[in-house]
Structure 1
Amino acid sequence: MRVLTKKDVQAVYSMKDAIADDKIALAAYSKGDATVPLRTNIDIKPDNGQSLYMPGYAAGKEPALGVKIVSVYPNNIDKGLPSVPATMVSLNPKTGIVSAIIDGTYLTQLRTGALQGAATDLMANPDAKVATLIGTGGQAPTQLEAMLNVRQLTRVYVSDIDKDRAAKFAQDMTRRFGKQFKVEILPAVDLQKAIRASDIITSVTTSKQATFDAADVKPGAHINGIGAYTPQMHEIPAELVKQADIVIFDTMDGVLAEAGDMISPLKNGLVSKDQYSGELGQLINGDIKGRDSHDQITLFKAVGTAVLDVVVAEKILQAAAKADKGTTIDL
């Protein structure tokens, strides 16, 4: 069994790798080549937390099997701890024996950032230059990194309910990515103005109300809803769901079971189910159409799926084994 820390993963596996492998995973899922039960969510009400268990299996030439144990504790940010702590357990699909334990917190951040990166790559206008990132928690750095990897952005605004945290995040990310990607990263002093200027909008929050106004979204914008993952969460405006020309999910079953910002417009009759175009894997496989006009508003909604975890974890394990990274343990 190989134990891999965040540093071990970073040494052998990049965001570009993760974006490519997320596409492979979602294509397999939409083809029916994966077994992914809906995750089990346990509310930990006294501590404002949730514990989630996400098993999955992907078939094919390079099968992958595993389970991720992940929790969402928003108050951890104030404690200097990850708000989404997690551990990934990979198993050998041929024997069922545990083959790796991987830092699931970083894996979650990486594969979720890459999921948005894959959607942005496939759905946003090629000439997108300005973006807004809403939410500066543990997921935010890889969300930003993914956008920067798939589009030549010149400016990114960052917004958070805590203005000081947004300002610090912008400074930290400027040091980390500014020179590498030749991008200006600024706190969104005026969020409305930032949204109106943005070609790409990514919201990664657990907000129970919309994090921006649909009326401020310009023609041709691409929006990613990455944070809300329960029926009570509504970070994407309902009016935007109605307004969007193309609405694509990571998984149809997952989003319609868990994402309040997509469930409520459907339940309230604001949209009909046929306005939800399908899955990103179907777009990758050529089974549905994506953007065909510069002025179309496109929307991607994700709640996450274990197929991403098991595939990315298996690819990380292969790369780590080849480079002899991590700590090996004989059981």
Structure 2
Amino acid sequence: MTKVFTIDELKSVINMKDVVESVDRTFKGLAEGVVINPTKVTLDLGENAPYPPYDGFFNAMPAYIGYQDVAGIKWVGGILGERKKAGLPFISGMILLANPRLGTFKAVMDGAYITNLRTGAQTAVALKHIYKGRKSLNVGLYGAGMQGHTQTAAIAEVFDIDKLYVYDVYTPAAEKFQQDMKDVVKGEIIVCDAPEQVPEDVDAIITVTQAKDSFLKAEWIRPGTVVFPMGSYKEIEDEVILQSDAIVVDHVGQALHRGAMKSLADAGKITAESITTTIGELAADMYDLGDVSEKKILCIPIGTGAMDVAAAEIAYQRMIAKGMGTDFNITGE
């Protein structure tokens, strides 16, 4: 039997703290070799390709989590176009869990909620291992949408945020964010009028926008700053990458073939040898960046299915323990 869970059941059993802890453990597993994560496969539905004209994409993201002994896949997409006109969120997705020994499918659940939590958690965990021992940070944030909220919530699980500078092309969104997150951020939230104001006094810069132009300038980045280009498009100038003192990624293969570094990798200006280390190696104490106070660090967590599958397995076990879910004999086995 396959259990199908509702979004309300899922939300009732797992939160940001759970996912931050899960992501940390799963990054460590990636470095240790007990987590298997192939590169994601993208179905372009008009995000970059001229056909079909739906201004979106879907990613297939499989993984095996050895420390949980679970296999799974997330099928997740971001659609603008008609979905945006319908007033629906940008991200939609589902997660399928399987017993790797029998090949039986044991669970189906929403993937968008876990995606939003774990994307924020990736940043928080990376910062935890880059800024070892730090208790507080100043943060600069581009984009005040769902990801802006979850990035902030995740970082607040690990650090006290003294100051958070937020910029959004739609100022009311930034102002709403300021109100929404006032009880999450212990310090001050400053709404910026111009993009160049964000990096003035921060330890981390996070871009979670739908911008298709490279708006983040290399000249704005001071030493002692970690830059996270998290959006689907290229939000940072190539010089931000080329002038970095260290490049940290979640998955080397993915980081070179999509996202911020893709064009440089395609041109042969960035290779696997250009990457300093992975978040997993930092989490497993296999690499130490040392004193980063005078370094410009680029950190690119493209996103791996392992993070989603591991979090989904935690939720699955808790929902089963509570008697949640509906049985479906989908395969007839």
Q: TM-score, normalising length from structure 1?
A: 0.88
**Residue 193 of structure 1 aligns to which amino acid in structure 2?**
Q
CA shift in 2, pair 1:279/1:209, >3 Å: same
2:144 equivalent to 1:136: yes
1:57-82, CA deviations, whole angstroms, 9 ceiling, x for partnerless residues? 2223x212111111111344453211
1:1-331 aligned at under 5 Å gives the runs 1-45=2-46, 46-60=53-67, 62-75=68-81, 76-77=83-84, 79-124=86-131, 126=134, 128-171=136-179, 173-174=180-181, 178-228=182-232, 233-259=233-259, 261-268=260-267, 273-324=272-323, 326-331=324-329
Instruction: Return the alpha-carbon distance in structure 1 between the equivalents of residues 23 and 31 of structure 2.
Output: 12
**Residue 329 of structure 1 aligns to which amino acid in structure 2?**
D
Percent of aligned pairs with the same residue? 26
CA shift in 2, pair 1:11/1:215, >3 Å: same
**Residue 212 of structure 1 aligns to which amino acid in structure 2?**
L
Q: Report the CA distance between 1:273 and its aligned residue.
A: 4.4
Q: Retained in 2: the 8 A contact 1:202–1:223?
A: yes
Q: Which deviates more, 87-96 or 123-132?
A: 123-132
Q: Retained in 2: the 8 A contact 1:123–1:298?
A: no
User: As a proportion of its length, which structure holds more helix?
Assistant: 1
Q: Report the CA distance between 1:103 and its aligned residue.
A: 1.5
- Compute the RMSD of aligned alpha carbons: 2.3
Q: Retained in 2: the 8 A contact 1:34–1:57?
A: yes
Q: Report the CA distance between 1:106 and its aligned residue.
A: 0.3
Instruction: Return the alpha-carbon distance in structure 2 between the equivalents of residues 127 and 191 of structure 1.
Output: 27
Q: Retained in 2: the 8 A contact 1:156–1:184?
A: yes
Q: Report the CA distance between 1:142 and its aligned residue.
A: 1.1
Which ranges of structure 1 fall in alignment gaps of 5 or more residues? none
Q: Which deviates more, 154-163 or 277-286?
A: 154-163
Secondary structure of 1:154's aligned partner? strand
Instruction: Return the alpha-carbon distance in structure 1 between the equivalents of residues 118 and 196 of structure 2.
Output: 29
Which ranges of structure 2 fall in alignment gaps of 5 or more residues? 47-52
CA shift in 2, pair 1:310/1:127, >3 Å: closer
Q: Which deviates more, 154-163 or 216-225?
A: 154-163
Instruction: Return the alpha-carbon distance in structure 1 between the equivalents of residues 184 and 58 of structure 2.
Output: 36
Q: Report the CA distance between 1:94 and its aligned residue.
A: 2.7
